[in-house]
Amino acid sequence: MKPSAKIIPITVLLLCFSYTPLFAKTEKITIQNIRVIQHDETKLPIKIFLDGQVNLKNGSVLSVSLWFKKNKGLERRTIVRGGRWRAWITFPRRKKIIPGTYQIRVSFSPRLQSRRVYPRIPKALTVKEATQNVQLGDASKEKEEVLKVQKKLLNILEELRILYTEMMRRGGYFLVHLKIHNTKITYLRRMEKKKVEKLRKSGKLGSLDPNLPNKIANAWRSFFTNYWNTVYRAQRRGFRLYQKERFLSPYPEAEKSISHILTLLDKVFQAYTKELFKELRRPLPAFARRGRTFKRRSLESMLRKEAIKAYRHLGIYNVVGWEILDLNRREMGFFSNGKNTYRSAVSKFEITKPESWYWDFSPINYSVRLRIRPEKPDFTKKNAKWSEAIVVVEIFDYPQAQSFKDLRDLTEARSQNRYEGYQKISAKPISFPDPQVLNKPPLNGNRWGYDMLISTKTKNGEFIIRQYELFCQWHKRTYGVVCIVRKDKEKEYKKIFDKICRHFKVLDHPKNRKKMLEAYLQPPKPEKKKKEKKN
């Protein structure tokens, strides 16, 4: 066999396999004179021809493998004949090959030998190997290609983090409200009917929504159909295609962690589904897998640890964890100003309502933190008519946003896709001094935002929507006050909406949130009794 190619300079490598049996002298087996003959790289597929010498008897088997940055790729086996061995290594035709230094390893292992050869191998033989480096492609482009792979894997991890965030926020939010709802129902069932009727007449049962289980079940099914089923499958398919297209990744351990994360994500979703429908006391939906599943919290812990491993394998150690601290939790906070001002200890905002209006904390989804209505909501009435105006506080996260302009564009795109018969009346960026914003460049203590006025036409009529959005100072989140009113009542509520938006605050200073949570979680201090003075 005489391949037409350039011969790389011959390098003599000695590999010693030493053994010391009882009452015997030490003997050596050597693999030497490894010669690498490489074909022209412009012709596909790329082939490498190898040969060398070894002082083994005929029929012995050697393993020849190709490595790239601790990642094993192709492996061939060759048989020794007349003290020589030879092998071909053919690269895959349709896979991308990163230019750089590859390593060829030639090794002798007792477990690979045939029955004819094995009895002649000493038991005390220690297995080692000989190596030879081969340069493929332009060495100057190796760093650039490795950085591209790293960036691609980081993007995949970021998309998986967003997927996990969406699932955890909805699942955690629904579970919390379901447990509160079930606790109230159990408490009412234990009470006498007369007491329940008194509570109903007094209006203290107005916040208990009997349709909440149906709403949550439908919302979770909708989340699976419209988001999870499509996005998760697309991410898994995209990662598998990426692996098929590339030959010998420079980050094999990171890719293993990503594969494990994809498996864990599916298991966490199944655990959320089973836990939710157990609280709903309903049979599992068709998309839920039957059989035993691990506990959700242990799966989430495994998922977060695996994510940290993946980032570390990519050479990144200062990583923001995948834990969600606020939006998947129900609202907790403080009331002041005669219970007309609410300060959230979870979502970091403060809002003030008109005196005659009512708070509404009934759950819809994790992004809607609360609503304000001019009339008290009553879920006990059948076909209850909702208010002609409503104010909603919404929070949305955009981890991939790089600037405030990105947040403005994303806000407009979300509104356009959300509202039926969308028409933009006006829109303007806003900026004002805010003590919550760090007084450093480029913000210099100024809060940025976006104020939009929209009209929509639906089957229920025509509405005017004011969307007052304040941006997080790290341009990753929007805090919105959405004011909705019927078109014929716009002038009547305009001043009220202006006042609510003007007094809306974002409390995202790094020190502020920790203090608020600590103050909320600590029990109230007992009041000191004043000592009476003796006459």
What are the pLDDT digits (tens) for 481-493? 999 999 999 999 9
10 falls within a domain: no
**Listed residue (389, 456, 468) closest to 427, CA to CA:** 468
17 falls within a domain: no
State yes or no: pLDDT of 18 exceeds 60. Answer: no
What are the pLDDT digits (tens) for 374-416? 887 655 444 444 568 999 999 988 877 888 998 999 899 889 8
Tell me, yes or no, whether 187 and 310 share the same domain.
Answer: yes
Last residue of some domain: 284, 314, 344?
314
The verdict on whether omega for the bond into residue 442 sits within 30 degrees of 0, i.e. cis, is yes
- pLDDT at residue 105 in the model: 85
What percent helix, strand, coil does the chain show, rounded to 5?
35, 30, 35
- pLDDT at residue 20 in the model: 28
Q: How confident is the model at residue 228 (pLDDT cuts 50, 70, 90)?
A: very high
- pLDDT at residue 14 in the model: 32
477 falls within a domain: yes
Tell me, yes or no, whether 464 and 480 share the same domain.
Answer: yes
180 falls within a domain: yes
Q: How far apart are the C-alpha atoms of 437 and 64, rounded to whole Å?
A: 61
Write out the residue range of the structural domain in which residue 68 sits: 28-137
Are 119 and 59 within 8 A, CB to CB? no
Q: What is the mean pLDDT of residues 294-319?
A: 88
Angstrom distances, CA of residue 488 to CA of 52, 370, 385, 484: 91, 25, 18, 12
Tell me, yes or no, whether 45 and 79 share the same domain.
Answer: yes
The radius of gyration of the chain's CA atoms, rounded to the nearest angstrom, is: 34
Tell me, yes or no, whether 117 and 243 share the same domain.
Answer: no
Q: What is the mean pLDDT of residues 423-436?
A: 93
- pLDDT at residue 126 in the model: 52
CATH number of the domain that 465 lies in?
Answer: 3.40.1000.10
Tell me, yes or no, whether 417 and 309 share the same domain.
Answer: no
2 falls within a domain: no
Are 379 and 361 within 8 A, CB to CB? no
CATH number of the domain that 39 lies in?
Answer: 2.60.40.10
103 falls within a domain: yes
Q: What is the dihedral of CA 208, 211, 214, 219, to 10 degrees?
A: -70
Tell me, yes or no, whether 423 and 309 share the same domain.
Answer: no
Tell me, yes or no, whether 99 and 206 share the same domain.
Answer: no
1 falls within a domain: no
195 falls within a domain: yes
196, two tokens: 């329940």
Tell me, yes or no, whether 125 and 147 share the same domain.
Answer: no
Tell me, yes or no, whether 272 and 179 share the same domain.
Answer: yes
Tell me, yes or no, whether 152 and 60 share the same domain.
Answer: no
Tell me, yes or no, whether 94 and 32 share the same domain.
Answer: yes
State yes or no: pLDDT of 46 exceeds 90. Answer: no
The gap between the terminal CA atoms of the chain, to the nearest Å, is 120
Q: How far apart are the C-alpha atoms of 442 and 47, rounded to whole Å?
A: 55
Query: How many structural domains comprise the chain?
Result: 3
Tell me, yes or no, whether 505 and 368 share the same domain.
Answer: yes
